[in-house]
Amino acid sequence: MRLRFEPILAALFTLLIPVLIISSVAAEEAVLTPEAAEVESIKFIAMMLSVSICGVAAAYAVARVSVAAMASAAEMASAAERPEILGRAIIFAGLAEGIAIYGLLIAILIWITTV
């Protein structure tokens, strides 16, 4: 089995980008009390986890949809015979990408909450 680096790089960037954003936001934050700093750090960890886990899950789902679409296209011997297969595959890939958007929305909702 050949190792593909695209999903691995996507997962690394999914984990790296929230950490960079959080560190830049935390650097601009005013002086906090220890209790407020603890709450903010837990919020940032929750934001990072929601974006990271949903991003990896979306990448996995898109990969599985793509493999299934390619297998069905190869089974049909030609995508020209049944073009609706491609349309369905695009719709399913879009639904899988919705997982990542939900993770981003959850992170934004965590970010705007006040204690």
pLDDT at 9: 61
Cβ atoms of 85 and 72 within 8 Å: the answer is yes
Distance CA 21, CA 107 (A): 12
Statement: 6-24+33-112 belongs to CATH 1.20.20: yes
pLDDT at 21: 66
Q: Is 112 a residue whose pLDDT tops 70?
A: yes
Compute the mean pLDDT over every residue in the chain, rounded to the nearest whole number.
Answer: 75
Give the mean model confidence (pLDDT) for residues 16-45.
72
State if pTM tops 0.75: no
| Model pLDDT for residues 36-81, shown as the tens digit of each residue | 888 888 988 999 899 889 988 988 888 888 777 776 666 555 556 6
- pLDDT category at 28 given cuts 50, 70, 90 is low
Give the residue extent of every domain in the chain. Answer: 6-24+33-112
pLDDT at 26: 56
- For 89-111, give one letter per residue: b (16+ CB within 10 A) or e: beebbeebeebbeebeebbeebe
